[in-house]
Structure 1
Amino acid sequence: MKTKEELKLYFENGDKPTQEHFWQWQDSYWHKNEKIPSNKLDYDFSQKADANASNINPQNAQLWKEKIETQTSIQNPQLNGNILTIFYTGENGVQQSQNVDLSGLATNNISIQNAEYDASQNIITITQSDGSSFAVNLSEFSIVPATDVDGSVSLVQEGVEKVKIHKVGISGSYNDLSDKPTFSGNDNLQNVIDRGNGTTKPIIFQPGQGRAGEINFSPTTYSFWFGNMNTDHTGAYGLGIGYNTLSKLTTGSNNIALGSYALNEATTGRWNTATGVSSGAKLTTGNFNAFFGTQAGNETTTGNGNTYIGDEAGNKNITGTNNTALGLGAAYSLTNGTQNTFLGAFAGNIHGKATGSGAWGYNTFIGYNAASTTHAMGVWGDNNVVIGCNAPLGGSTFNKLVIESNPVARRHDLVTPLIGGDFAARTLDFDAVVSAKRTPLADNTYTKVAVLNANNVFGYKNLSDFSDFISLTGTGMGAPVTGNIQFTNEDPEERIIYRTNELDGVKSALGLFPESVMMFSGNLDGTNTSSVDVSKENGVFAYGHSSHLMLSDVGAALRQTNGGAVKGIFASPNIDEPVLIEHETTNARGLSSKTYFGDNAQENDYIQKQYADKQHSYTIAEELTGGKWINGKPVYKKTLFLDQIPRTGEIDLRSEFPDLETIISNEMFTEWYALDTAFAGNQWRTKIYITVEREKATIELLGEPDYDYSIINSFTLTLEYTKK
C-alpha cells in the first residue's frame, strides 16, 4: 500500500498520472458504500456495552443512569431567540434544565417566533413567523426533547420514540427524506380537501411579483379576488379578477371587476360591474355603472348609471350619467353627456368631440356610425334622434330627426336624408316618392283633399273648393285634365285626338277606333307618316322611315326597306321553323357585329370570321383552341421555334410543355440548308425522320450516326395537346 507522500509524487505539476496511479490512489481509501472491518479500527470493542448491558460494571451503570435520568415534572419553558429552555425536576429531586436549538426547524425563511407553556394542560405551543403554530403535549413524555445529529428533534419515552420533528431544507427535496411519512395514492389538492383541510391564508402565485397573483377571500366583507384587491377594503360583496382590479377599493360595495386594471381607481363607488382590460379604469366614486369591453368607460370617474358595452364604448365619458352605448367605439368622444342612447358600432363616436364641455344629452342614435359627418366641424347638440348606417348629423344640432342609410359616411351638409324632422318646430320632411298601402275607399265622410304647395309642403283643401270640370268646349287654360277620359262603348265611330302645327306643317294624332288604337305623326297632307297601330285581332304594327315592326299571330318581323332592297329578321310561331334572316343585296353578308366576341363564344354561339381566322393562326404563346379531346379535356395549341438545334438532334420539350398529357396533332417545318432543303412534316424523302414524344423531339439523318444537327438553320413545331 502506497503512503500519502508516495501518492503525491504521482500528481506533481507537469506529471501525467497513469491508470495504475489513479487506481493505487483510490485503493488507499475506504469508499462510503464499503463496510470497514472491525479489525481495521483503532478501538477496543471489548469495552462496548451489549444490547442488554450485561457487561457494564456498577460504576458505569450509575454514570449511564445519571445521563438518562427521566424527568418527573416540567416547569414553564422559556424561549430565548430560537433556543427553547425546559426546566424540570428529576427523580433524584434535583432541579435541572435542558436547552433545545429550534433554529434547525426553520424552513423557507420561516422561523420559530414564540413558545408558550400551558401548565394546566402541560402543552407547549410553538408559533412560527408565518403565523402557523403547532402544539407538543409533554404529558406523554418522560424526558426532555433532544436535538439529533441530522437536525431533527426527538421526544422519546423509555427508549420508545414518540415524536420526531424534521426540517425540510431550503435546498433539496422533501422526497429526499428517507423517513418521510408514507401515503398511498396521489396526494393531490383534491385529496387534501377530502381530508377536511382548508386555509385561512391567501394563495400567492410568483411571490417575487408581490400580490399581483393572489387568490383571497375576506370573511368580513365576503369579497373574493384573484389579483391584488385592496386587502383593507370594507365594502362588501366585491369580486376582482385580474391585475390591479379594485386595488384601491375602500368602502365601495357590490363591485365586480374582471380584467386587468378594471375598476383600478374605484374607492367608494358601489354597484359597478366592469368586464374587460381597463374597463372603468378611472372610476372612483361613480355608482350603478356597467362597463363591458376593453377600455369601455375608461375615463369615467364619478359618472352614475352608465351602461357601456363594446371595446372603447363610452371611452371618454368622465362625469356623464344614465348613458347607454352598445357597440365598438359607441359614444367614444362624449365626455359629460347625460341620458343618451347609442346603439351600433361607432354610433355617435364623434358626438361632442369638437366641443369643450361635452355635456350633451337626450340623444338617441341607432345604426353603424350613426350621427356621423366627414366635415371637420364635427357634431354636438341635444335631443336628436338619428337612425341608419352612417346616418348624417353635424354641427350644432338640436331636436332633429334623421332617418337615412348609406354604405359610406358623408358630409352632413351635403346630404338630404330620406326622412328628416324637427321635434321643436314639429316638422317632418321626406326626400322620397311617398305612397300609401291599404288606403281605405273614401266615402261621403271624407270632405278634405291633401295638396302640396310650390315648396312641396302638405296642406289640405275642402272638397267643396273643387268646382273645376271639363266643359263641352274642352279644358280651359291652367285647368288640365287630371283623371281618366272614357268614351261610350256603344259608339261605333272613330274618335280622333289630334293637334296640328301649321307653322311646321306637322299633324300628330291619337285615333281611338272600335277595334284598335293608332298613334301617328306626319305631314299635314298625310305623307311621311310614322305610326303605331295596336289591335286586339291583328297585333302591333309600327311604321317609320322605311322601317317596319310587326308583332302578330303570323309571327314577329323587323324589316328595313331602302330602294327595293330588304334587310330583316322574321320568326314564325311554328317552333320547328328556323329564324329567317333577309338580306337582299348584291353582296349579301347576313349577320355581323362591330364588336369582336369570339374569345367569349359558348358552345351554341355563332362564330365570327375573325374567330375562325384566329383558330388557324400560330403563336409561341399557349392558347386554348376552344375544342375538347375525346375525354372532355380542353385542347391547347402552341408553336415552338428554334434557330439553334442541339448537336445530338434531341430537343427537350419539357420546359416548353411541362404539363403535356396527350399530343393530339403536330405540324413541323425544318430549314436545313446544309442539305439544300426546307420541308414540312416529320420526314424527307425517307432520309430524314423527326419523332415527337411527350418529353422530346428527335431528328435523325439516316446513315449519319454522328451527324452534327446544330447546323440545322431552324425548326418549327406546333402541337395541339391536352394537359395533365
Structure 2
Amino acid sequence: MKTKQELKKYFENGDIPIQEEFWEWQESYWHKDEKIPADQLDYDLSQKADVNASNLSPQNAQLWKDKVETQTSIQTPQLNGNILTVFYTGENGTQQSKSVDLSSLITRDISIENATYDASQNIITITQNDGSAFHINLSEFSIITTTNSDGSVTLSQEGQEKVSLKKVAVTGSYNDLSDKPTFSGNDNLQNVIDRGNGTTKPIIFQPAQGRAGEINFSPTTYSFWFGNLNTDHTGAYGLGIGYNTLSKLTTGANNVALGSYALNELTTGRWNTATGVSSGTKLTTGNFNAFFGTQSGTETTTGTGNTYIGDEAGNKNITGTNNTALGLGAAYSLTNGTQNTFLGAFAGNIHGKATGSGAWGSNTFVGYNAASTTHAMGVWGDNNVVIGCNAPLGGSTFNKLVIESNPVARRHDFVTPLIGGDFASRTLDFDAVVSAKRTPLADNTYTKVAVLNANNVFGYKNLSDFQNYIPLTGTEVNNPVSGNIQFTDEDPEERIIYRTNELDGVKNILGLFPEAAMMSSGNLDGTNASTISVSKENGVFAYGHGARLMLSDVGAALRQTNGGGLKGIFASPNLDEPVLIEHEATNARGLSSKTYFGDNAQENDYIQKQYADKQHSYSTKEELTGGKWINGKPVYKKTLYLDQIPRTGQIELKAEFPDLETIISNEMFTEWYDLKTAFAGNQWRTKAYITIEREMAIIELLNVPDYDYSLINSFTLTLEYTKK
C-alpha cells in the first residue's frame, strides 16, 4: 500500500488522475459502512467493566460499593461540651457517626449554648450565649472534619469543602485585649453596624494627608463635614464637603459649602450656600449669598444677598449686593455693582471691566452675551435694559433700552438695534418695518394721516392736504391717463403693478425696479410662477415649470429641471469653448432624436469620445457593446485571460460563456516562450493552430504528439457574441 505522501503526488496541480489512482486512494481509508477489526484498535478492551459487573473481582466490587455509597438517614446530633457528634445510617445499614471538636471556635465571653437538628431540612442550628446563631446544612454529604491553622473547622465531602466554621467576633472590650486571637477572615462596615457599633471619633481617609479627608459631626453645633472644616467653630448647622471648605469658620451659622475651597475664608458670614470648586472662596463676613458653579462669586468678600449660578458667574464681585447672575460667566467682571440681574451665558460678562470702581447697578441683561461689544472701550453704566443674544451695548451708557439679537458679537457703535429707547428722555426707536394688528376701519371721523419726516420721526398731516392722486378705484370713465406714467428718477425703491384673480387663484405682476423689469404669473402666494426678467446688466432670464432660459454676457443657456433630473445646453461667448450638453440621469444619453440619422452620418457628425473609447477597450467582465446582430439580439463582449493552460491544450469555455449562442468575432494573443514566440491570431507559421468553438478552444502544435501545452505562458481570448 502506498503512503499518504505517495498518494498526494496523483493530485498535484495540472495532473489528471486515472481510475486506478482514484481507487488506490479510496482503498487506503475505512468506509463508514465497514466495521473496524478489534485488532486494529489501540485499546485493551479486557480492562473495561461490563454493564452487569460480571467481570469484576470481589475486591473491585467492594471498592465500587464504597465509592458510590451515600448516607440514607441522619439522627439527632448530640453536643457533649464542645464535642458535636452526628449519627447516621449508611447504605449498607451500618450505624456510623462523625464528631467535630468545636472548642477552637470559642473566644473570650462567647461559648456554644445549644445545638438543634431539623430533620425535615437536615440542618444543624448552633446557638451561642450572646444570642447569635449559625446553621450547618448536612444534606447529602459525609462529614470529614479538619481543624485549620487559624482555629476554624472545615466540614468536607469527598475532598470538597462544604461548610467552614470560623471564630466568632466579639463586642465590648474585645478589641482592647492583649491576648485576643488573630482574625484572618473578612469583616466589613455593614458587619460592624449590624453589631450595634458606632463611633464618637472622626473617620479619616489617607491619614498621611492630615484632615483633608475627614468625615465628622459636631454634637454641639450639629454641623457635618467631609473635609477639614474648622473643628473649633461655634456657628450652628454648617455643612462642608470638600477640601478646605469652611476651614476658617468661626461664628457663622447655616452655611453650606460643597466643593474644594468653597467658602474657604468664611468666618462670621451666615446663611450662605456655595456649590462648586472655589465658589465663594474669599467670602468672609457676607450673608445670604448663593453661589452655584465652579469659581462662582470667587472674589466676593463682604457682598450680601447675591445669587450667582453658573461656572465663573459673578466671579469678580467683591462688595456688590443684591445681584443675580444666571449663566456661565454671567456678570464676570462686575466688582461692586448692586441690584443687577444678568440672565444668560456670558450676559454682562465685560460690564464694568474697563473702569476702576465697578459700582454699576440697576442693570437688567437677558440673553447670551447680552450687553456686549467688540470695541476696546468696553461697557459700563446704570439702569440699562438689554435683551437678546449678543445684544450690543458699549461705552458709558445709562438708562438705555436695547432689544437686538445676532449669532455673533459686534461693535455696539456699528449696530442699530431692532428696538432702542431711553428711559430718561422717554424715547423709543424702531429699526424695523412696523405693522399694527387689529387696527379699526377708518370712517369719516378719521381726518389725519400718520407720516414720517426725514429722520423717520412720526407726525401727522390732515387728510385734506393730499391732492392730485389716482384713487384706488382707478380713473374715472372716459377719463384715462393720457400720458406716460413716470416714477421718480433715481428712485431706489421697486414699483410693483399687479392684479389678482381670487376665483382662479392667479396673481399677475409687472415689476419695475431700478435696474430691471419683471413680469410674472403664478399662484396668489407667489408659488408655481412663470417669470421673465429683463435687465441691462444681467440680460434676459425666463423661468417656468422647471424650464429656464438665460441670455447674458456669460452665454446662452436652456435648462430643464422639472422631474428631479437636469437637462440643458449652454453656449459660452468664448469661441474656444465647446457647446456644453447636460443630462443628469442614471443612464444619461445626452443628445438624441426621434428620427434615426445613423445611416446618413457624415464625417463631422457628433459622437462622444468616451463612447468610442469604450468600444475599443477590453474587460474580463461581460459588457454590452451597444450593437446588435443581424437577428436583432444584443452583442456582448468579454476577454478571457489565462496564465495556466491545461497540458492537453483544450480550454473549456462553457464556464466563462455559459449562455453563448453565436460567436461573432474573436481576437487572440498567445505568449509561448517554449517556442520563443508571441503571436496574435489563430496560427503561427503553419506550425501552431488555435480553433475556437462555442464550448472549447483547442491549441494544437503540428507534428508534436503529446505536447505539454501547460508550457504556454499566457493565452488571451476576446469574443464578441450573442446569448441564447
TM-score by length of 1: 0.50
TM-score by length of 2: 0.50
